[in-house]
Chain A
């Protein structure tokens, strides 16, 4: 089993739609979780950290389910500019493990 698994997509959604991505992780001792965004042929950039109680940043909501070992990212009111690959990142002690990413394409 991969340490961090994501559905590669692509998720094709119309502008204004709500879309959700899940990410599962294998190590129950993992302590910190993040979502990074990577535009095509660009570097990854931090989108948001994921806290145990869940957290929201504008149209983006991240949640953590430790019992089932997954994190999720919800994007409301999708914009064309949200088109990108979303990387799930899990920190276990001193190690960061990156998922392969979920590609989102928002269309008119």
Chain B
């Protein structure tokens, strides 16, 4: 099992460009998440999908959109990238939705995004 995979690993964008970060999990998990990690800020939730067909905003959703394509895949789109979106982006998945039990979240290896 590959666990959680993310593409690309690195990306450099110019301000105003758009891109989609891809995430897939092969653990048959119901819930998936997108986080960003910035120095001194901790991981912050951007969007999550508690189950296939649903998506919800997290703490920092502005400037992003998501699509839960199917149970395996959850993509994050930046429509018009800004320098403030320079960050490391992690996708994660868990068996149950957040707040249900003590389910571990499994993280992908991350995407390092720089917006110039």
Tell whether A pairs with B.
yes
* Chain A residues near B (Cβ < 8 Å): 4, 8, 32, 34, 42-46, 49, 87, 91, 93-101
Interface residue B53 (Cβ < 8 Å from any Cβ of A): no
Task: Label chain A's interface by main secondary structure.
Answer: strand
User: With A43-B107, A93-B99, A97-B42 given, can you name 12 additional A-B contacts, CB distance below 8 Å?
Assistant: A43-B90, A43-B109, A43-B110, A44-B43, A44-B107, A46-B105, A49-B102, A91-B98, A94-B99, A95-B98, A98-B42, A100-B41
Task: Label chain B's interface by main secondary structure.
Answer: loop
Give the bracket for the number of chain B residues in contact with chain A: 10 to 19
Taking a contact as CB atoms under 8 Å apart, the answer to whether A46 and B98 are in contact is no
Taking a contact as CB atoms under 8 Å apart, the answer to whether B43 and A46 are in contact is no
Interface residue B97 (Cβ < 8 Å from any Cβ of A): yes
